[in-house]
Structure 1
């Protein structure tokens, strides 16, 4: 099964030698799932010819906001709506979660409650899972077609499903310990409040359920369900 990765950002240059860019990170995260990948760096204007260029689609995270006036945002929203109108499954992570919601009638904004960084506890579709988070923006109004499958006191719309078409999640199951430490060392200073950064550093060794999410992603791609 061929998955088209819609790349909406770039890993910080200092972190690429040890981690790769977003397509490599996601390919590693889903390495054991029997999937093939094509990458489209939509952040740089590289778009597929249409929804039929892949069997399923995955939209990555990004340092940008879904609400920003950037030249690739509107075309990406158009593509999302085109994919949604087909029978191809689509998954969004963090920015991907947000831009899909925005494209389908929801609203995204910079959350007044601030940042969520590092290991966080979620109940996802009835399962208790721990995943790494890295976000300030949130989906504050979900589209009419979206159903909440994870919600926390901090993040009301932490994961959404849209029937058998779309599965999106706010945290980052693809972020492993090494990459998280790199983000905390390189990107967090001066951006993330220092107490939150330090708390995330203190929890770097917290086990996460990324492998469970990789299974869930693959199940959705192959069977269009999460359980």
Structure 2
């Protein structure tokens, strides 16, 4: 099964060589599940020919806001709607979670209560799941067809499933502790309050459930379910 990865941002240049870029992180996360991958740096206006260029699609995170005026936003929204209409499985992570919701009629905004960075705890359909996060924006109004499957008190719409069409997650299962440290060092200062950066650094060695999300993403691509 061929998965097209739509890269909507770049890793900080200071850790790019060691950590890899955003698309590379998902290749690593999903390894061993019999997928092949094609990468498109949509943030740099590198788009596929259309939805049929892959069997399933994944949109990465980004430092950009889904509601901001960037050249790649409108064509990416068009592609989201085309993939959705073509009934191909679609997965979105962080910015991907947001742009899918926005493209399908939901609302994304800069959250009034600030940032979530580092290890967070979620109610995941009755189970407790820990994942790394790095976001201020949130989906605040759900589009038609979206159901919440993951949440916490800070982020009510932390994971959404759109029937058998899309599965989206606000947190970052592809980010390990070292990557969070890199973000806290190179992208956080001046943007994220120091107290939150300190807390994020303090939690980088605590376990997260990236393996659970890797399985759920893989299952969704293959079976249109996260069970």
Q: TM-score, normalised by structure 2?
A: 0.98
Q: Deviations over 1:22-53 (max 9, x none)?
A: 11111011112211110011111111111100
1:209 equivalent in alignment to 2:209: yes
Secondary structure of 1:16's aligned partner? helix
- CA distance in 2: counterparts of 1:125 and 1:46, whole angstroms: 36
Say if 2:176 and 2:204, in contact at 8 Å, map to a contact too.
no
Contact 2:98 2:139 in 1 (8 A): yes
1: CA distance between counterparts of 2:66 and 2:139?
10
Q: Take 1:201 and 1:12, find their aligned partners in 2: how far apart are those partners? A: 17
**Is structure 2 residue 189 aligned with structure 1 residue 180?**
no
Is 1:14 aligned with 2:14? yes
Which deviations, in whole Å up to 9, do the C-alpha atoms of 1:147-200 show, x marking residues without a partner?
011121100100000000000000000001111111111111111100000011
In the other structure, the counterpart of 2:101 is 101
Aligned counterpart, 1:225 = 225
Q: Which runs of 5+ in 2 are unaligned?
A: none
Q: CA deviation at 1:125?
A: 2.4
Counterpart residue number, 1:149:
149
Q: CA deviation at 1:127?
A: 2.0
Match of 1:165 in 2: 165
- Matching residue of 1:110: 110
**Distance apart, 1:220 and its partner CA:** 0.2
Find the counterpart in structure 2 of residue 190 from structure 1.
Answer: 190
Moved over 3 A (4+): none
Q: How many residues align?
A: 227
* 3-state SS of 1:33 partner: coil
Q: Distance in 1 between matches of 2:25 and 2:194?
A: 26
Q: Provide the residue aligned with 2:42 in structure 1.
A: 42
RMSD: 0.7
**Deviation at 1:126?**
2.6
- Cα distance between partner residues in 2 of 1:165 and 1:185: 37
